[in-house]
Amino acid sequence: MITIASTAYDVNGPLVVKRSASTSAGGITRRVSRTAILNESSVFGYHGVTETDRDISISVKKPSSAQVARAETLFRGNKNLTVALAEGLFLCAAVRQKSTTKALTMTFYVVEKLS
């Protein structure tokens, strides 16, 4: 199960959906920069790994009209949302939300891992 909620009190409560196979909590991405230098070589800078390099993509197949409406309300009314899934609890920036009769897809950028 995945829970998406406002960071403040919301009388409508969270959006709770089943996790699908196409849901992704992002992998670990290392911050690496590459700069070309004059001798036709490159210099690499390694800057570590952080949780904020994750993108979370959630896909719900055949969503109900209530799920679509709740997702739209959460996205329109909140800058940041909390997203709880098996990988942890995250404070996220809501980036994209798209819905059709076949699927509801949501994309979040991780601001901070809360637990």
Q: Please state, in angstroms and rounded to a whole number, the distance separating the CA atoms of residues 13 and 66.
A: 12
Q: Please state, in angstroms and rounded to a whole number, the distance separating the CA atoms of residues 75 and 95.
A: 8
Q: Write out the two tokens for 42.
A: 């490159």
Mean pLDDT computed over every residue of the chain: 90
Kindly state the percentage of the chain with pLDDT values over 70: 98
pLDDT digit string, tens, across residues 31-75? 889 999 999 999 999 888 888 888 899 999 999 999 999 999 999
Query: pTM of the prediction?
Result: 0.80
Residue 26 pLDDT level (bands cut at 50, 70, 90): confident
Give the residue from 31, 91, 18, 11 showing the smallest Cα distance to 56. 91
Residue ranges of domains in the chain, CATH in brackets: 2-113 (2.40.30)
Q: Write out the two tokens for 112.
A: 């901070």
